[in-house]
Structure 1
Amino acid sequence: MSETGSRVIVALDFPEEQKALQLVDQLEPSLCHLKVGKEMFTRLGPGFVESLSVRGFAVFLDLKFHDIPNTVAAACDAAADLGVWMINLHASGGRRMMETARERLERHAQRPKLVAVTILTSLSREDIAEVGFHGTPAENVFRLAHLTKSAGLDGVVCSPREAGAIRAAVGGDFLLVTPGVRPKDAAADDQRRVMTPGEAIAAGSSYLVVGRPITAAADPLAALRQINADVTESTLSADK
């Protein structure tokens, strides 16, 4: 299981392996992690994940597990056998599900980081109300983040707009993985609650998930380097 010092996670959202690998081969493992989600994993399977690891990339397997505790724990165990760097599940699956998954992963000498999804960044207050969540997205994120930490997980996936409040409440060791990050000149696409890379880091994000601003760029490596530069500048400013 490899890991880079970069705080950028590039989201690989492609319909076929060839296009994904063409993009990956333009990037550098020292500059980013890679995220493999449901579509690519369903189409291409574990072998694709292993091909990324062979290229030296640390992989975030973004499958958002949500099921009975033993089933989720078994799925996390199988993902760990692939040598991935990070796995996620839904915090709304409850404490017992999260604790069971964490306990299963502790059997691995080099276990993946385990983080929980709180409220998807594409969801508005109206959206979550339709499925029975009372209050604002931020209030629900805050509640689920506390539950996740008390269950012993490494962190949560959340919007960068909620990162500051979560960071203040849970402290510096808890990972905040934030999608909804876009450079100033990029379109918001299907994300509702977005920030720039520098703003997200300043708010307390640990890792930034970035997709189309890199994967659809004319020069993906240049775009990645610019985002890394923005992250470094923001980090240095925060340390002063």
Structure 2
Amino acid sequence: MRELRPIIALDFPDFESVKDFLNLFPAQEKLFVKIGMELYYSVGPEIVRYIKSLGHSIFLDLKLHDIPNTVESAMRVLSKLEVDMTNVHAAGGVEMMKAARRGLGNKAKLIAVTQLTSTTEEAMQMDQNIRSSLVESVVHYAARTAEAGLDGVVCSAQEVRAIKAATSDDFICLTPGIRPKGANLGDQQRVVTPETAQEIGSNYIVVGRPITQAEDPVQIYRQIKTEWNLDLTNKRS
């Protein structure tokens, strides 16, 4: 089994901060990183090209949500950046997600956001006027995402088993809101540890501030990577 890499959320405001952070790691250590809205809107496509030139994998987290034609055109542009994964909002609907797949093609994994991990059930019901439970909402979005032909969803690790039961074992569940034991939860509400995410069946995990704001980011990254691969290590032995 291949060793899994946690996806590091590069939640930095500018190019230099990213360079400084990536320079902490040995050149031969190839990372999987997430470029979100703040960084992409600040620097633009050049940040993607730079990180790809270093040999790292990229999850471009822009959460597109618009009419199908606009999303398809935007994905056609993003496909030229040769990222490894990108996403849309499942709330945009099946036709929008199908359009995103057409625009991106099969050059990268395409996943959809179900409910943000900062969203509580109470907030979802009040703000979105959704009367089902949070888990029911997430599973519904996941099933529609699979119907649209996407590769998977962004979800809390707490919903992974229900999503895979409603879709398939191959359906990707990427889980943010990952915190090592004892870490500050920040603004995340639905969080688990890397080891628990592995046990539950998450295919990818995203970790940001616990790594990027650590006194020794490389050490914390490797600690989380070890925890993330612990169940795999046990299966090999």
Give the TM-score band, short-chain normalised. Answer: over 0.9
Offset, 1:105 = 2.3
Cα RMSD (Å): 1.7
Deviates more, 1:168-177 or 1:147-156: 168-177
Give the counterpart of 2:108 among 99, 112, 132.
112
**Residue number in structure 2 paired with 1:6:** 4
CA distance in 1, matches of 2:190, 2:90: 19
Offset, 1:30 = 4.3
CA distance in 1, matches of 2:29, 2:64: 28
**Residue number in structure 1 paired with 2:194:** 197
1:139 aligns with 2:136: yes
Change (3 A) 1:54 1:155: same
**Residue number in structure 2 paired with 1:38:** 37
Query: Where do 5+ consecutive residues of structure 2 fail to align?
Result: none
Give the counterpart of 2:118 among 98, 122, 126.
122
CA distance in 1, matches of 2:137, 2:210: 28
Offset, 1:31 = 5.2
The one-letter code matched in structure 2 to 1:62 is D
SS of residue in 1 equivalent to 2:196: helix
SS of residue in 2 equivalent to 1:127: helix
* Superposed CA offset, 1:150-205 (max 9, x none): 11100000011111211233222111110010000211111100000000111110
The TM-score with structure 1 as length reference comes to 0.92
1:149 aligns with 2:142: no
Change (3 A) 1:192 1:141: same
User: How many equivalent pairs are there?
Assistant: 234
Q: Equivalent residues in 2 for 1:75-224 (5 A)?
A: 75-106=74-105, 111-129=107-125, 130-224=127-221
Change (3 A) 1:44 1:114: same
Aligned sequence identity (%): 42
Offset, 1:213 = 1.0
Deviates more, 1:161-170 or 1:118-127: 161-170
Checking the alignment, whether the CA contact within 8 Å between 1:6 and 1:33 is kept in structure 2 is no
Checking the alignment, whether the CA contact within 8 Å between 2:74 and 2:103 is kept in structure 1 is no
CA distance in 2, matches of 1:70, 1:9: 30
**Residue number in structure 1 paired with 2:66:** 67
**Residue number in structure 2 paired with 1:234:** 231
**Residue number in structure 2 paired with 1:20:** 18
Deviates more, 1:130-139 or 1:216-225: 130-139
Offset, 1:103 = 2.0
SS of residue in 1 equivalent to 2:25: coil
The TM-score with structure 2 as length reference comes to 0.93
Checking the alignment, whether the CA contact within 8 Å between 1:178 and 1:207 is kept in structure 2 is yes
Checking the alignment, whether the CA contact within 8 Å between 1:89 and 1:115 is kept in structure 2 is yes
**Residue number in structure 2 paired with 1:49:** 48
